[in-house]
A and B are shown apart, each in its own frame.
Chain A
């Protein structure tokens, strides 16, 4: 019975993901964005059905497992965009080196100022980078990978909603800066938004996202010492 339920959970996750993706592509409504809709619906189903998390995770852990190969896959776009990296090495590295400490420090300091527990401070620290990198960082710094995964998703939704407003408010000249804004603050969700603005913005956003993720993973011991 439990095995059947676990399989049904995997099936439900896949079907909801497929439906949300289709709906979002057709309508473009922000509430049907798979990033927002699928986790909410799946969490709702698990809560309403009183399904224990270990049952839900029994079969769906194969999906989580694929995050490993997905991290390896980042090598291909980085390799393909090596010309852009070379051309804008200065701006890109400035952006990454500034974005990473601002994201980590402001998350931790704000969490501390709002009286959130140490575990929450740690789990918020890597929230602005892409999930596989964030999870790798979380396990190094003694954060909860589960909580970090949730905070990464909330960050993505926040970035989708705030990105447009900030692009209007800030006096930005270059496409480079617009791409970096979205990629550094809102990882994959920001990169998707940047691709809507234009190809150059999209490339810069994905590069900022990937390089920022790698830099944060390598800075993890430093973050652990700080938090």
Chain B
């Protein structure tokens, strides 16, 4: 029982150091993006760097897994400050705001309908392909 808090501290320290590691990758990526490829945002460039390092085996998954899980789980917290910026746009209250909400609702329904029907069709096609492959295999 005495070891339990110890373990929790160890785990949070390892998560913290992994968050620092991912932050360093992001800083490196923003330097690289600034200097060589301004078309690719730093975050996306950093993501591809980590993806490549994982695929090539240069970076063990256990070195970044819990840090990544924490960053993604708490992501909502990170964009709250940006949403508060809406106080600088008082003109958004009233008719304009209502129209914006309407645009978002209608567009969301459209995206949901089209995407899910296309993916459902794609899934049926995948099954068809698999079945055909199997039949050819038998022949």
A positions within 8 Å CB-CB of B: 13-14, 17, 34-35, 38-39, 42-43, 46-47, 53, 56-57, 60-61, 63-64, 66-80, 88, 90-92, 94-95, 98-99, 102-103, 106-107, 110-111, 114-116, 120, 124, 127-128, 130-133, 135-136, 139-140, 145-147, 149-155, 158-159, 162-163, 166, 170, 172-174, 176-178, 180-182, 184-186, 188, 208, 214, 217, 221
Contact = CB atoms under 8 A, between A and B. Distances in A.
B115 to A, nearest CB: 4
B104 A158 contact: yes
Which has the most chain B C-beta neighbours within 10 Å: A135, A147, A159?
A: A147
B113 interface: yes
Interface of B: 19, 22-23, 25-26, 29-30, 39-44, 46-51, 54-55, 61, 64-65, 67-69, 71-72, 75-89, 96, 99-126, 129
A182 B111 CA distance: 9
B99 to A, nearest CB: 4
Contacts of B71: 66, 69-70, 73
Contacts of A99: 111, 114-115
Chain B interface helix/strand/loop/mixed: helix
Given A72-B47, A98-B115, A136-B44, 6 more contacts: A42-B80, A43-B87, A90-B126, A166-B112, A177-B119, A186-B108
A199 to B, nearest CB: 16
Which has the most chain A C-beta neighbours within 10 Å: B55, B82, B96?
A: B82
Contacts of B101: 154, 158
Contact of A110 (B42, B85, B106): B106
B110 A53 contact: no
A47 B86 CA distance: 10
Contact of A135 (B47, B76, B82, B107): B82
Chain A interface helix/strand/loop/mixed: helix
Nearest to A206: B72
B115 A73 contact: no
A72 B106 contact: no
Contact of A166 (B68, B96, B104, B109): B109
A75 B113 contact: no
Contact of A95 (B75, B102, B103, B122): B122
A30 B85 CA distance: 24
Given A67-B75, A116-B100, A184 B111 contact: yes
B116 A170 contact: yes
